[in-house]
Amino acid sequence: MEKFKSYTLGQLDKIPQLSGLSEEQIEEIKIVSSIYPFKTNNYVLEKLIDWNNIPDDPIFRLNFPHKEMLLTEDFEQLKQIRATGTDEEIKEVIYNIRMRLNPHPAGQVDLNSAYINDDKLEGIQHKYRDILLFFPSQSQTCHAYCTFCFRWPQFINDLDFKIQSKEIGPLLEYLHENPQISEVLFTGGDPMIMNSRVLDSYIEPLLKVDSIKTIRIGTKALSYWPYKFTTDEDAEGMLNVLAKVTKAGKHLGFMAHFNHPVELEPPVVKEAIDNLIKIGATIRTQSPLLRFINNSPETWTKMWEKQVQLNCIPYYMFLPRDTGAQHYFAETLERAHEIYTEAIRNCTGLASTAKGPVMSMTHGKVEILGVKDDLYTLRYVKHRDDSKTFKVFTAQSISPKPMWIGDLQEIKSEIMNY
């Protein structure tokens, strides 16, 4: 049985594989990790990262923060204050940098809140008519943290930005008042960090709600800790709890995050996927397109083809959201569209099911359908106002290097709003 061992910032010096890095490289990781959360684990270190390819290895870039994730002036200010400032001064600089990184993009806090009467419900987001997002408090962490994560403020204790709930009662009440909701998505963090007993306490009551037809689980456990579904002490218990969903006649949809084909290679990943499929789960896959990690058509073709071989369904190619280190990870919209198109073109039919490139923004998910010079054809694949879902619209770039929806302006202002 593999034993899970995680390392956070304070334990950086205990990671044996880092002994090959220079002092300067280690210091850079420490500086950037004072802004973004850092966590890795023994599986990522031993099975996924190629330590002969540092610092360019894609999984190293995915998991270890690096200097360019901060603007040069922020990095230098932080370096300076850490060397000469008081604790209070350091805290203040860190806080100010974090605030400039748009910690809550896309109106998550205000626009997606759910209410019963005038009471705001904690840990619940209701953006689209038919699906509710639930953030159990026990899942507001992950087996390791991704450097690009748009939920990075969820993992920082001294930021009062956590979306989380310990209670299932308000969620059930809200579902009874809103029978048009047919899906609940467990999210976080990673809900698969919970143990089977805690997960069961949420799942069991949901199965009694007739209007709920689908339970979705957003997770990166298949990449960062696949033993969760194979040899962990709790693996059998976890599979048993998840199996209750399909036994109750509901759909169990795993939204699995894979960012690079390397994550699909260890044999234990196939075993974990097989075990989930045996209990009736369907596994759909998604990832953002990320510079330095997966920004080539070949990487995506390889990833999607391998996913189909493993009985997963490619679902979304996202673009990095307008928070955190977007400036570092994002391709231009035009390049993103080229990468997506070429990747799909080289896929077999069954591997070309992913929508993309898609921006998940304030009012919905917008897909880029075509680019010609500075003109863009786009479509909402999902809009918070149903009547706009699947509507096509055109927009013009208002930036020399458009990387997000805010860099475009709709040509006839009818559909697009931010």
Site residues for ligand SF4 per CB under 6 A: 142, 145-146, 149, 151, 188-190, 220, 257
CA nearest 372: which of 400, 355, 396, 408? 396
Q: Which residue type occupies 274? A: D
Specify whether the CB–CB gap between 94 and 102 falls below 8 A. no
CA-to-CA separations, 210 to 59, 69, 207, 224, in angstroms, rounded:
42, 46, 7, 34
Using the minimum distance from each CB to ligand SF4, give the nearer residue, 220 or 388: 220
Nearer to ligand SF4, 264 or 347 (CB): 264
Neighbours of 192 (CB within 10 A): 26
Write out the H or E segment, with its range, that includes residue 410.
strand 408-410
Q: Where are the beta strands (DSSP E) in 220-354?
A: 251-257, 282-288, 313-318
* 8 Å CB contact between 273 and 283: yes
Q: How far is the CB of 188 from ligand SF4 (least distance, A)?
A: 6
CA angle 273, 270, 306 (to 5 degrees): 100
Give the contacts of 22 (CB within 8 A, at least 6 positions apart). none
**Cis ω on the peptide bond leading into residue 55 (within 30° of 0)?**
yes
Q: State the nearest-atom distance from the C-beta of 155 to ligand SF4, in Å.
A: 7
Instruction: Closer to ligand SF4 by CB, 155 or 174: give it.
Output: 155
Q: Least distance to ligand SF4 from the beta carbon of 85, Å?
A: 29
Between 148 and 340, CB nearer to ligand SF4: 148
Nearest distance from C-beta of residue 158 to ligand SF4, angstroms: 18
Rounded least distance, CB 414 to ligand SF4, Å:
34
CB of 162 to ligand SF4, least distance (A): 13
Beta-strand runs (E) in 13-135: 39-41, 113-116, 119-128, 131-134
Indicate the residue among 171 and 193 with the shorter CB distance to ligand SF4: 193
| Nearest approach, Cβ of residue 190 and ligand SF4 (Å) | 5
Please, which residue, 187 or 397, has the CB nearer to ligand SF4?
Answer: 187
**What's at 361, amino acid-wise?**
M
CA pair distance 4, 9, nearest whole angstrom: 17
In the complex with ligand SF4, which residue's Cβ is closer, 149 or 344?
Answer: 149
Instruction: Answer yes or no: are the C-beta atoms of 394 and 375 closer than 8 Å.
Output: yes
In the bound complex, what is the minimum distance in angstroms from residue 4's beta carbon to ligand SF4?
A: 15
- Of 175 and 354, which has the nearer Cβ to ligand SF4? 354
Could you give the angle at the alpha carbon of 166 between the alpha carbons of 251 and 253, nearest 5°? 15
